């Protein structure tokens, strides 16, 4: 096995983790809500009175932030996806179903739940990670 050192980005990863942690902490302190993306987007599908504005703003911020970064710096982040559209759609649907069964996503359980020492979030995150490990192993080593 060889290591692709081009994908080894400890400083960028640390900065991203710090920003995500800070955003999650501020969100729960200022809004009393967990920053779980699946719950936020799910709330847009069944909006309550006066609840959609902040959800739309947050989702727009997630979508527009890369464009703003590109506009300010001119830097692009190369992305390579080794899958076709069918695989991506199927994967997205499976993730959506999984977040409903798991009552949350990796941001809600993995970042916010574990930081609150939630046993349920720890178990959910371990299940997410195990499923990811098994899936990658099967796709790259068994079916390859």
Whether residue 75 is contained in a domain is answered as: yes
Whether residue 133 is contained in a domain is answered as: yes
Query: What one-character-per-residue DSSP string does 18-70 give?
Result: HHHHHHHHHHHHHHSS---HHHHHHHHHS--TTTHHHHHHHHHHHHHHHHHHH
pLDDT at 2: 66
List the one residue out of 98, 122, 99 whose CA is nearest residue 110.
Answer: 122
Whether residue 3 is contained in a domain is answered as: no
**Which tokens go with 67?**
């464009």
Question: Into how many domains does the chain fold?
Answer: 1
pLDDT at 98: 84
pLDDT at 101: 82
**Domain span holding position 16:** 10-142
Whether residue 1 is contained in a domain is answered as: no
pLDDT at 76: 77
pLDDT at 86: 92
pLDDT at 36: 86
Whether residue 66 is contained in a domain is answered as: yes
Whether residue 4 is contained in a domain is answered as: no
**Alpha carbons 144 and 4: distance in angstroms, whole number:** 20
Whether residue 39 is contained in a domain is answered as: yes
pLDDT at 126: 93
**Alpha carbons 51 and 31: distance in angstroms, whole number:** 12
Q: Whole-model pTM?
A: 0.72
**pLDDT, one tens digit for every residue, the chain (144 residues):** 566 667 778 888 899 889 988 998 999 899 888 888 888 888 898 888 888 899 999 999 988 988 898 899 988 777 778 888 998 999 888 888 888 888 888 888 888 888 889 999 999 999 989 988 998 899 889 987
List the one residue out of 88, 89, 102, 105 whose CA is nearest residue 41.
Answer: 105
């Amino acid at each position: 096995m060889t290591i692709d050192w081009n994908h080894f980005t400890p400083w960028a990863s640390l900065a991203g983790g710090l920003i995500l942690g800070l955003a999650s902490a501020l969100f729960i302190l200022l809004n009393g809500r967990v920053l779980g993306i699946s719950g936020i987007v799910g709330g847009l599908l069944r909006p309550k009175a006066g609840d959609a504005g902040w959800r739309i703003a947050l989702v727009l911020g997630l979508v527009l932030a890369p464009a703003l970064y590109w506009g300010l710096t001119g830097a692009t982040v190369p992305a390579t996806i080794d899958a076709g559209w069918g695989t991506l759609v199927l994967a997205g649907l499976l993730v959506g179903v999984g977040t409903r069964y798991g009552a949350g996503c990796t941001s809600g359980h993995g970042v916010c739940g574990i930081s609150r020492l939630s046993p349920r979030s720890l178990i959910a995150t371990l299940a997410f990670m195990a499923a990811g490990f098994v899936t990658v192993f099967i796709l790259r080593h068994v079916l390859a």
